Structure 1
Amino acid sequence: MKLKLLFILIFFSFRISAQGTIKEKFDYEVIYKLSFKLDSTLVNPESEYMMLYMGKDYSYYISRAQNFEDEIKVKGNSGSTPQNALTNFHYQILKEIKSDRLFYVHQIASDRFYFGQDKNIFNWQIETETKEIKGYKVQKAITNFAGRDYVAWFTPDVPISDGPYKFNGLPGLILEISDVENEWNFEFFGLKKLSPKQDFKLKFNQLIKTSLAELKATNLRYRKDPFTYINNPNITISPEVHQKYIESFAEMLEKENNPIELE
């Protein structure tokens, strides 16, 4: 019994230390075009390009615009944010390839939050139907996730059980996936091998650990009134102007009624 307890303590300590800093060298980069309707009343969807980086132990999902913004920060550019660094998606998803965990990292103003989640959340049904996407033979699979029914197309030619957003668990890379209402549609744009490999590092001690429910509440508080959340003494506005901003933020939030996860 003591030996078993010691093993549990050692394993638990290893998991904590392993989450202190994550380092990876990404071998591959996948680009998806995401067409989406955050506002369900829109006739034509908006679109952004999303990136999936894959290495030996981890994969990393981020919007291309946010990735571009991070590159600017690294280079020390403190000027205004260029148009191609603007994004609707201020989060990243890090999947552990050899385990059942993923980490969801979300930036709110200058704060970065994270929570862990089981990545084995998809009950896939693989169909016999096949087709071709940009030279890759793909096979159909269906699933339900967070209130939506999805159709995915994966390729065994790339034997990596991964895909955009949180999607994973198929015997091949997901090249295309869309909900049946076609409100969230990931379309394969390109895959390339990185040479040299791309270095990646994530330090958990620079993030704030939270839960999904707490993160939603914090993000809503920020989106309703960014000025109060940031609480920067160098930013001063009159109560009248502040109220006008709050009203415009409320109107904007009302239109964001169709997130990718409905449940």
Structure 2
Amino acid sequence: MKKLSIIAIALFMQTISAQVNRFVYQVTMKPEVANKNDIKTENAYLDISSDKSLFYSENRLKRDSIIQNNIQNGGMRGFNREQMEGVRSNINYTVEKDKVNQKIYFKDRLGRDMYSYEEERPLNWKISSETTKIGDYKVQKAETDFAGRKWTAWFTTDLPYQDGPYKFGGLPGLIVKIEDSQGDYSFDLMKNYKIEEFPTPTQFGNTLKVKRTDFVKQQEKFKADPMAFMNQGGSGRPGGTGGLMRIGGVRQGGGAGGGNQNPADMRKMMQERIKEEAKKNTNPIELQ
């Protein structure tokens, strides 16, 4: 009986450690330099396990679900543009923290492909003795300079995670709130609960592993002329995907599920959307 009890406890602990803790942050952004009154707010998830964490948009998960449902039900014939517009996001990136190897990986889409780089800039925190209370948590103040902005964070040791939203972490507890000195970006913890496992984001196109500096260069090319970037054989890479475009998970110019779509109309829609998004994202979270 004693051995059975030990086994039961071990299995229970294994189950607990295998669970993923989801922290929901409200992200407030002012993405336009010329229009600071245009404030965007949406939720993002920080999913944490014992060996890694993943930060991404709640709308990304909803969008993936819509795309998968459409694909499973006869491709994109039932594609609802209004439904997709309702889950558009200003957080199109994901940030994964490898806790075992102490690595941070950033992923974002440019054109047809996903770009991935390892973040190598360290966060040097200045921890203050100042404390206060945010919601149910006693929190402590910390400050850092990162990517051209000055950030003030409030972390709690009430939760056993040295983590936080976006690329932030490395404090003696979980970041409950963090905001830059200009008030352009803030992350506020709203709630948390457990989920069974990490979601698997829908992946279209290739994943290109690059240096951060190379990603920034490609990003600037994309912003300067999105369609020229996409028409250069695939995300600005010679000899890429041959001018094919993926829209909502469907490859235009051939392929399953796109038979009833007008390629010219879809291309025009994509052009308009890319230009609109480029104009409205002139105040990025990273300035350097």
- Give the shorter-chain TM-score range: 0.7 to 0.9
**Separation in 1 of the partners of 2:200 and 2:282?**
34
Rate the CA distance shift 1:98–1:253 in 2: closer, same or farther, 3 A. Answer: same
Kindly state the Cα deviation for residue 210 of structure 1 after the two structures are TM-superposed: 1.6
Q: Structure 1 runs of 4+ off > 6 angstroms?
A: none
After superposition, what is the alpha-carbon deviation per residue over 1:16-52, rounded to whole angstroms, capped at 9, x for unaligned?
Answer: xxxxxxxx96510011111111112322421121111
Partners of 2:281 and 2:128 in 1: CA distance: 33
Higher mean C-alpha deviation, range 218-227 or range 107-116: 218-227
Counterpart of 2:51 in structure 1 is 57
Counterpart check, 1:31 vs 2:24: yes
Distance 1:172 1:153, change over 3 A: same
The match for 1:11 is none
- Which has the larger displacement, 33-42 or 80-89? 80-89
* Aligned counterpart in structure 1 of residue 117 of structure 2, from 94, 109, 115: 115
Q: What root-mean-square deviation, in Å, do the aligned CA atoms of Structure 1 and Structure 2 show?
A: 3.1
Supply the distance in 2 between the matched residues of 1:259 and 1:177 (Cα, whole angstroms): 16
Give the letter aligned to residue 189 of structure 1: M
Q: Assess, with a 3 A threshold, how the Cα gap between structure 1 residues 182 and 140 changes in structure 2: closer, same or farther.
A: same
- State the 1:63 CA deviation: 0.9
Distance 1:174 1:118 in 2: 20
* 1:256 aligned partner: 281
Whether 2:129 is the aligned partner of 1:136: answer: no
| Residues 119-171 of structure 1, C-alpha deviations (whole Å, 9 max, x = no match) | 7x111111122122221111111111111111101010112110000001100
1:29–1:184 Cα change, 3 Å: same
1:90 and 2:115 aligned: no
* 1:52-100 residue CA offsets vs partner (Å, 9 max, x unmatched): 1001111001011112112333444432352342112221111011322
The 3-state SS of whatever aligns with 1:219 is helix
Whole-Å separation in 2 of the counterparts to 1:245 and 1:165: 29
Distance in 2 (CA, whole Å) between partners of 1:224 and 1:245 is 14
Structure 1 unaligned residues grouped into runs of 5+: 1-23
Could you tell me whether the CA contact under 8 Å between 1:26 and 1:198 is conserved in 2? no
Structure with higher strand content: 1
1:181 corresponds to which residue?
182
- Distance apart, 1:207 and its partner CA: 1.7
- Identify which range, 42-51 or 213-222, moves more after superposition: 213-222
Q: Aligned residue pairs: how many?
A: 231
**Distance of aligned partners of 1:40 and 1:206 in 2 relative to their CA distance in 1, 3 Å threshold:** closer
Instruction: Please state how far the C-alpha of 1:223 moved relative to its aligned partner.
Output: 4.1
What letter matches 1:51 in structure 2? Answer: Y
Aligned counterparts of 2:124 and 2:221: Cα–Cα separation in 1: 34
Identity, % of aligned positions:
27
Q: TM-score, normalised by structure 1?
A: 0.76
For residues 59 and 202 of structure 1, do their structure 2 counterparts lie closer, same or farther at Cα, with a shift above 3 Å needed?
farther
Task: Supply the distance in 2 between the matched residues of 1:43 and 1:199 (Cα, whole angstroms).
Answer: 34
Separation (CA, whole Å) in 2 of partners of 1:64 and 1:166: 17
Which consecutive residues of structure 2, in runs of 5 or more, have no partner in the other structure?
1-16, 232-242, 245-251, 254-262
